[in-house]
Amino acid sequence: MARGMVRETAVTPSREYERQLVGRAQADDRLASRELVELHKDRLFSFIWRMVRNHHDAEEICQEAFLKAFASLGTFSSEYRFSTWLFTIGYRVCLNHLRRKRALTGELDFTALPHDGDSALPGSVESEEAGRLKELVWSAVDRLSAPQRATLVLFYRHELSCHEMAQVLELPVATVKSHLHRARNRLRELLESVTEHELQEFRNRAGAAG
């Protein structure tokens, strides 16, 4: 799929305005801090939730990421976007959380976790096939490694370029491209193994209904 389709619709402030906000927040301006939180919280939470798949954990990680960001706001370099810097912190906290969780529970299997809600739009009309396809895709995404999952979500959902992803994930651009390539192929393999069976079921049901 070519990039540029439906994306997160959060308003992105201009760099100059963002720089001013950060400057004011550094000077303990509470309103500026609040505006920074309001501007970035939903996107950060969306990314983190896709990484950990648990509402409570995602909210805690999100909070920790903001607190760490505010605590070290003095070290922020305006060379980067605030959102990129914040996502970097959020991703690090995520990885620490996943490591701790893996240490406690062994290998992580996100597909075994209860989902926090139904991913279908409330009140929207969605065919059974489309709904099932979404389930299969997210279930396959959950089976990927953390960096692979992160690259897919950042690339498709948050519209980050490979260069921006490299900053967030603190990896070389070539490594990021490699993660993205492997993630797509792994996703295809996982989906191929299940969709044939699923499609056959749909065909049989459609035939029986017809």
Among positions 133-172, residues that touch another protein (CB under 8 A) are 133-134, 137-138, 140-141, 145-148, 152-153, 156-157, 169-171
CB of 21 to another protein, least distance (A): 14
The answer to whether the beta carbons of residues 120 and 138 sit under 8 Å apart is no
Given candidates 12, 60, 84, 143, which one binds another protein under the rule CB under 8 A?
60
Q: Does 115 bind another protein (CB under 8 A)?
A: yes
Cβ-based neighbour number of residue 74 at 10 Å: 7
Asked whether position 109 contacts another protein by CB under 8 A, the answer is no
Contact call for residue 12 and another protein (CB under 8 A)? no
Q: What are phi and psi of 61, to 5 degrees?
A: -65, -40
Residue 46 makes contact with another protein by CB under 8 A: yes
Report the residue count for the chain. 210
In DSSP notation, 50-65 reads HHH--HHHHHHHHHHH
State the number of binding residues for another protein (CB under 8 A). Answer: 72
Give the C-alpha separation, 40 to 21, whole Å.
12
By beta-carbon proximity to another protein, the closer residue of 102 and 203 is: 102
